[in-house]
Amino acid sequence: MPRTKTMPTTWMPRAAAVLCAGLLLAGCGSSEGEPKAGSGGDTAPAVDAAALDTGSYPTSPAAEFARATTENIVEVEGQRLAEFTVAPFEIDPELISGKMPTMVMRSGKNLGVVIGGGAGDIAANRNMLYGYVSTAATNTPNVTDPSRSVVNAVLRFGNPEDAAATARELQAQLTTVDDGAGVSTAESVDVLPNTLVSTRETDSSAGRTVSVNALTPHGDYLLYSWAQAPAGQKDWTAKAIAKAVSLQGPLIDAFPAQPTKEQNGGVSAEFPMVDQDKILIYAIPEEDAQARLGDDLAAYGPRGMSHRSTNPPLTHRVLTETGSEHNAVAKTTVYRAADDAGARTIADEFAGDLAAQGFTAAPSPQGLPDAKCVTKDTVRGTEIYCMVVNGRYVGEASGLDDKADVDRQISAQYLILEQADQDA
């Protein structure tokens, strides 16, 4: 299922809402002009549009988004790149606990967050354009328990020379500069002749661990993979790195990257559309532009959504099987399946997943029996999720300790989806 915006069970501070749990959700479609029955069928209470409290949230689709501009092309390209970045669970199916950093990398400086030390300066000096990074670990009952984890990143440069030079400079830094955790030792992996590898053993609260860095130049891209495990599982780290590189190369080759001006004969190529598949117009916009951090106000595919999910394999599988090719991420999240049955499948699958986490039913918003809501008390407060299904569309809203606001969000989302193009 998708990530949450502010919920403590997730690992991203700003994100799309998750689906409600423990409730079988039916489709909400009806003939135009007819009163809409609730999800319980013809005998369920009808939606009372006049009773809906939408607060200040918009109740109509947004104007269509234009193409990216020079001001947001880095964010848009990074969001598109997410679909072509291998997710940790694809490297090892047990890597399902999302961690930071998982994000669009809007400049070379962001690499400092991923690798540390002077990595950000090295990438920036080599004019890294943008990238995407995904991080996950195995689930453990306690944070001090031994676990395995992976970081997988794709960094785009203006040319192969800068990508290769960055790999060499990063390898030199890792193997000569002590960033406080010791210096890594250069090694080689037989099956990765073009990859620069270094390893390091350190002590942590979970015991002695071994970590492996791998830098693989790949045309205009630098593939960065990192794996960590208990010291006795060094073989696992080598296998994880090899799997990451073997999957990432072919996947990035399929990415339809925006050509640079130099690559396009000295003239700027037409920029991609911000709203892939015209789905973002149906999500409630994020009010705080700074909260997006390059990741929200986006249209992601199944893999892109899985990076930001509390159950990545489930998210990827369900969205793929239902044909939900692009999914809108803003203040709310909107999915569009290939058909009505697909939307109900999305709702049912994600609902069952949240039910297993202990969420319980909460009252639907006034006038909107079709919306299903759930709550769960956590150390940070009460999490609230609401969802509504309308034909091929699924809308989600979430919040913390403010059920009234979540009710307003999902009520506004319902009215927007009433106007959505079911034949898109």
Band (pLDDT 50/70/90 cuts) for residue 170 is very high
Give the confidence band of 315 by pLDDT, cuts at 50, 70, 90.
very high
Comparison of pLDDT for 334 and 20, the residue scoring more: 334
Question: Does residue 304 sit within a domain?
Answer: yes
Q: Cβ atoms within 10 A of the Cβ of 49, count?
A: 15
Q: Are residues 55 and 202 in the same domain?
A: no
pLDDT digits 0-9 by tens, 65-115: 999 999 999 999 999 999 999 999 999 999 999 999 999 999 999 999 999
Give the Cα separation of 272 and 92 in Å (integer): 33
CATH of the domain at 241: 3.40.1000.70
- Which residues, including other chains, have CB under 8 Å from residue 292's CB and lie 6 or more apart? 14, 75, 286
Which domain covers residue 249, as residue numbers?
Answer: 73-253
DSSP H helical segments within 308-402, as ranges? 312-321, 340-355
5 found inside a domain? no
SS3 content of the chain, % helix, strand, coil (to 5): 30, 25, 45
190 and 111 in one domain? yes
Query: Above 60 in pLDDT, residue 28?
Result: no
Q: Is the pLDDT of residue 204 over 90?
A: no
Summarize the confidence of residues 331-347 as an average pLDDT.
96
What proportion of the chain, given as a percentage, has pLDDT over 90?
76
- Neighbouring C-alpha atoms within 13 Å toward the C-beta of 256: 5
- In-domain check, residue 265: no
Average pLDDT on 168-176 reads 97
Please tell me whether residues 184 and 283 are part of one structural domain: no
**Whether the predicted pLDDT of 373 surpasses 60:** yes
In a domain, 26, yes or no: no
Q: What is the pLDDT of residues 222-260, one digit of tens each?
A: 999 999 999 999 999 999 999 999 999 999 999 999 999
Q: Is residue 268 part of a domain?
A: no
- One domain, residues 187 and 118: yes
Tell me how far CA of residue 313 lies from CA of 228, 316, 318, in angstroms.
Answer: 21, 5, 9
CB atoms within 10 A of CB 214: 27
Query: Where among 194, 218, 253 does a domain terminate?
Result: 253
SS3 389: strand
pLDDT confidence of residue 4: 42
Q: Report the pLDDT value the prediction gives residue 280, as an integer from 0 to 100.
A: 97
Among the ranges given (34-43, 62-71, 155-164), the one the predictor scored with the smallest mean pLDDT? 34-43
What pLDDT shows up at residue 291?
Answer: 56
CA–CA distance, 390 with 416 (Å, rounded to integer): 10
Can you name the residues that pair with 383 across neighbouring β-strands?
A: 376, 400
Count the domains in the chain. Answer: 2
Residue 280: name the closest of 22, 86, 75 by CA: 75
Rounded to the nearest integer, the mean pLDDT of the chain is 88
354 close to 1: Cβ distance less than 8 angstroms? yes
Interval 285-296 mean pLDDT: 74
Query: Do residue 79 and residue 61 come from a single domain?
Result: no
pLDDT in the model for residue 290:
58
Query: Phi and psi of 104, rounded to 5°?
Result: -75, 135
Instruction: Look at residue 292 in the predicted model and tell me its pLDDT.
Output: 57
Q: Are residues 141 and 248 in the same domain?
A: yes
Instruction: Output the CA torsion sign for 5, 64, 260, 220.
Output: positive
The verdict on residue 39 lying in a domain is no
Report if residue 353 sits inside a domain.
Answer: yes
Higher pLDDT, 196 or 207: 196
The predicted structure's pLDDT at residue 330:
95
**Whether residues 167 and 295 fall in one domain:** no
Give the rounded percent of residues in the chain with a pLDDT score beyond 70.
88
pLDDT range class, residue 26, cuts 50, 70, 90: very low
Q: What is the amino acid identity at position 37?
A: A
3-state SS of 189-250? CCCCCCCEEEEEEEEECCEEEEEEEEEEEECCEEEEEEEEEEHHHHHHHHHHHHHHHHHHHH
Given a cut of 80, whether residue 15 has pLDDT beyond it is: no
| In a shared domain, residues 299 and 152 | no
CA proximity to 334, closest of 277, 384, 275, 393: 393
Name the residue among 110, 57, 85, 105 with its Cα closest to residue 283: 57
Mean pLDDT score, 217-221: 98
In a domain, 424, yes or no: no
At 11 the pLDDT is: 26
Sign (positive/negative) of CA torsion 163, 167, 173, 179?
Answer: positive
**Dihedral Cα 394, 94, 201, 131, nearest 10 deg:** -30
Q: What is the pLDDT of residue 179?
A: 81
Residue 303 has pLDDT above 60, yes or no: yes
pLDDT score of 144: 80
Looking at the structure, do residues 177 and 284 belong to the same domain, yes or no?
no
